[in-house]
Structure formats: C-alpha cells, structure tokens
Amino acid sequence: MTRQFFGTDGIRGRTNKGVMTAATAMRVGQAAGRHFLRGDHRHRVVIGKDTRLSGYMMESALVAGFTSVGMDVVMTGPLPTPAIALLTREMRADLGVMISASHNPFEDNGIKLFGPDGFKLSDDDEARIEALLETELELADAADIGRARRIDDARGRYIHAVKRSLPDDVRLDDLTIVVDCAHGAAYEATPSAIWELGAKIITLGVEPNGRNINDGVGSTSLDALKARVIAEGADIGIALDGDADRLIVVDEKGTAVDGDQIMALIGSQWAAQGRLRGGGVVATIMSNLGLERFLDAKGLSLIRTKVGDRYVLEAMKAGGYNVGGEQSGHMILLDHATTGDGTVAALQVLAALVKSGRPASEMLHLFDPVPQLLQNVRFESGDPLAAQAVKDAIAAGESDLGGSGRVVIRKSGTEPLIRVMAEGDDADLVKRVVHSICDAVRGAC
C-alpha cells in the first residue's frame, strides 16, 4: 500500500496544510486508538509535545480522537521525545504520542507514535493505522468515552531516568558546559539534569515562544553555541534539536563534533569496559568511511542501514547491538533508552571527558573523516535512477574510487530529490564523481 500519511519518522508536514491538520490529527487519534484497543483493561495513551505554537492545536485534536474511541489520555506538556517513549513503557500505556517535527522550523509539526514497549511502531502497525484512516471508525458509547488529564511529575521522572544513565562514580562538578536546547522540548529537563549532576551550566535556546524552535540555535545551527563556548571558556558545548533526540557536540575550541565521532567514542569506550554488545556499532550508509576504518582498527565492526533512525534501531534489535546512531546526531543507546536520546548520549560523552582528564578537542576527534561530498538534484517526475546514463555514471564513479571510497545514491523520503554522495581519500576525485553523477541525473530529468 502506498503511504499517504506515514514517512520514515511518523507523520510530518507544514501545519494546517496537507496531512498536518487538526482534522487529520483527530483521525490519527481515532485510528491509532482503535488499533491499540486490545484486551478488556482500561486503555491509556501518553501524549507529549515540543514547544511549537501548533502543538496546542494538535494536542487538543489528538485528545479528541483518542477519547472518542474510549482511550484515556495522559498529557505531559513539553518533554523530549525519549521521555515520552520512557513514560509510555513505565506507565504501562498502550500507546505513546510525541507531537514534534524534530529539527524542522516552527511552521512544521509531526506525530510520532510509540508502542507499549516504548519503541517506535513497526511498518506493519503504521500500515494498519493508515488503512484505518480510510474507514468509518467505530466510536465509543457515551459511557465509555475516555478521560483526559495532565500530570505534573513527568519531567521529574525523565530527569531521574537520565541521571541514572551516568555511571555511579562520575560527577560533573569540575565541568563548565554550554547547553543549547534549541528553544525546544528539553528546555527545562536537560539543563536541570546536568546541573543536578554538579556541572556549571550556561544555557542557550531555553526561552521558547512557540515560534523560535530551532531558529538560529540547536544541533542544526551551531554558530551561536560555538561562539558561546569560546566566550565563556567552557569545557564543552552540547546541542540538541527541537525534540531532543539528536546530539551534536562542540569542543572547547569551538569545533563541531558530529554523530560519527560520538559513536566512535561511545563504541570504543564501551568495548574497553566490556559493555559493548554485538561486537560493533550500527550506523547508516551516510556515516563516514573514517568511522568504519577506526572501528575496524579496534577489532569492531560497522553495520550500515538505510537512512533513518528506525532502520538503525531495527538492525540493533535484530543483531543484539546496544550502540547505534546517525552522523546527524541521533544516538540510540539501548542500555538506557528505546529511541534516540540526546541527553543520555551527552552524559556518556561527559562521563568520558571526566574520566579521561583530557580536553574535549583531543578526546572527541578520534579519526580524520574521509573527504565526503553530498549534493541534491531536484526532479519533477519519473525515476531518474532508472536511466541508463545515470546507471553508467554511477558505475564509472564506483570504478574510479575503487576500494578507497564509496558512492551512495538515494531518493529523499520527504522531497523530490536525488541525493548523491561520494567519499574517498582523494577529495578532488570525490568532487568529480559527484558532479558527474549529478549531471547525469539532471540530464535524465
């Protein structure tokens, strides 16, 4: 079945347009609620959100949908996505919902769904819910309509869980940390957790107004964090995105550290401590070849998946791995969370910093990334990748790079774009390969 609503990470779009309307949200609540009405117990859904203006509208619509089919609703207010995953499991809810468009601007919003185990829904569950959206759904009898309530201790529960992820023998008392919360869902929880662990914190992006989420701050906009780290003489800076499931780090010199370096650090540290399961790390096809070489030198493997943290998670669960993530900063540490958690990942980095006694600029740059270039080509219709000229250009690029590089070509899951990436030891060759394939794609369009 062709998906009209669900993408690679729930439902997402421009608010009040397309799929991201209050009417659709209510239908999603009804469909997801009906799908998870299993057994004769009183059913419950946990709903959280980030700080977007449209979050109130989408929350109200979802509450109407869920209660209309007989589900009770627990609302948490603004909390990180991983907090909703955690609370869904801990409160024995049948379903969890996070209202967020992650790192997108405030005009967008989205709906992410979690099952009772705290993991994102499977493709099969999403397909069944999508099918229900097209049907006339059975509503609850008047006496069975669900109740809705807000809870006040959700943030405290999450902070407690986050702090427990730090080793018992580690305190952050000697660190000065700039914490950038992107004016998003973690604007209260993450600074509180890190401060309670002893650090001196300097906050950035903690004044949400409904419209400024991810605006000039956060993991996709690092200039403000880099400048603040240097100005304050901080030991390190951490940047989250709008729903706090993503982490990018800035060292004391103002240099950004991406997800590949963070995975290299956590993977190698956990391996040395005997904590790493599966003998390697799971990442996507976009992770740098330098990470693969670094892990190989440590006797560890790199397992690659399609782009998307849900595919990383599927491979981790299937292969028994407990460390995985994406170059963009999604870090999944299954010992502590069921989905990407930027705060939990940050605490693992901070623990390593404390134990090493070395500056972040030394500890967090474990390998030299191989030159990598990514370009996008927009197309209007058809399938440019099926054109023989494009296939020939890709084959020629792979041949030119030989065993010293890679070519990755894929369609965007959200836009009419062909993404062309190549990497290798020769930067000029990488550039020529990418340009040649992009030219062939444009010709096919």
Task: Please give the Cα distance from 420 to 418 (Å, whole number).
Answer: 6
Give the length of the chain. Answer: 445
Packing angle between helix 427-444 and helix 388-401, nearest 10 degrees? 170
Per-residue pLDDT tens for 303-337?
999 988 989 999 999 999 999 999 999 999 999 99
pTM of the shown model: 0.92
Structure tokens given for 265: 């650090």
The reply to whether 372-444 shares the fold of 11-152 is no
CATH 3.40.120.10 for the 11-152 domain, yes or no: yes
Q: Parse the chain into domains and list their residue ranges.
A: 11-152, 173-363, 372-444
How confident is the model at residue 40, as a pLDDT? Answer: 84
pLDDT classification of 107: cutoffs 50, 70, 90: very high
Q: What is the mean pLDDT of residues 119-131?
A: 92
CATH 3.30.310.50 fits 372-444, yes or no: yes
Q: What average pLDDT does the segment 344-357 reach?
A: 96
Q: How confident is the model at residue 4 (pLDDT cuts 50, 70, 90)?
A: confident
Active site residues: 102
* CATH class held by domain 173-363: alpha beta
* Whole-number pLDDT of residue 300: 98
d(CA 437, CA 285): 18
> From CA 333, how far away is CA 298, in angstroms rounded?
20
pLDDT tier at 416, thresholds 50, 70, 90: confident
Q: Which one, of 229, 224, 230, 287, lies nearest residue 261 by Cα?
A: 287
For the residues 124-153, what does the mean pLDDT come to? 94
